[in-house]
Structure 1
């Protein structure tokens, strides 16, 4: 994935965040992570030197608030934010694209997993029907139990993969759009209907 911020954009975006309200360093890092849907969480070594440079340029000031250092935009900083409103609009569009890419990736993973699950279950059902018509009753039941265990394992693996993907994404500060959950629910419903149809129920 290409860098979230092009050269110089992070500096301007930090100014923009400070134009909204005074913030301490960690708050700025968290805000950047939130605004990028978790695709970009800068280190302190990335943010603080830029804040120092902005202070040196007279665009921000800092003051102590207990044990924290809070940064506040100056009038000169606000003037730069206003003058570069067009650049900020482009940055915001880029951030929105990054969040959409993450959502599309999660949605694609869900669809791929569901296609694999449907294929496995359909194959298991076909094997079960074939065994039922050619094998003794006892062997058929044993095979059905084996296929049921296989289906249970596939469902457990699917649940674990999707849950892990979603939890990691949210833990990184990413958002889970309703459309992703809607797609997941629809895919699960479709898989359930496919299983029932394949079994003849």
Structure 2
């Protein structure tokens, strides 16, 4: 995510006078010639990283699923950083425990993360994912709502909420959650497919 512009290095050539040639007179106060007195070109500034707001704006305007996936990946990376090295390390260890299906350890580690960073939406989202694996949809939904209260544009949290509501047969609210996903990320084809199948059951058949 960091891009650095290369500095431009310009060499200055000195023009020598022929042997015996007289150097033209110059004012008494004129500065002496020398490479150090020559104006140096300004180095270009590195490109500014897009803010999270700008990334979400670009995501909403993406013209293809491939473009949207690239932008969504940048957003996910940004959301996965808390600003605390300790919290980031603990969450990465929780992810490792999750991958090994050690869900109790994963929950314990995320609990520590949330004690350090209670306003980190990604940590609430990750704990919701673990709760869902532990067959605790109530705990998962509570954490998803916490994540969305902190970051209402967290499209993965909205997607997870839609899945849990569908599993509980709350199709009306599930459809609302899925539609919210597409407001944020209009190029999510899998969510589009779910909405197309679900919409007639909620809204009725189109005439």
Q: What's the TM-score once normalised by structure 2's chain length?
A: 0.21
The structure where strand makes up a greater share of residues is: 1
Higher RCO (C-alpha 8 Å, min separation 6): 1
Q: What's the TM-score once normalised by structure 1's chain length?
A: 0.21
The structure where helix makes up a greater share of residues is: 1
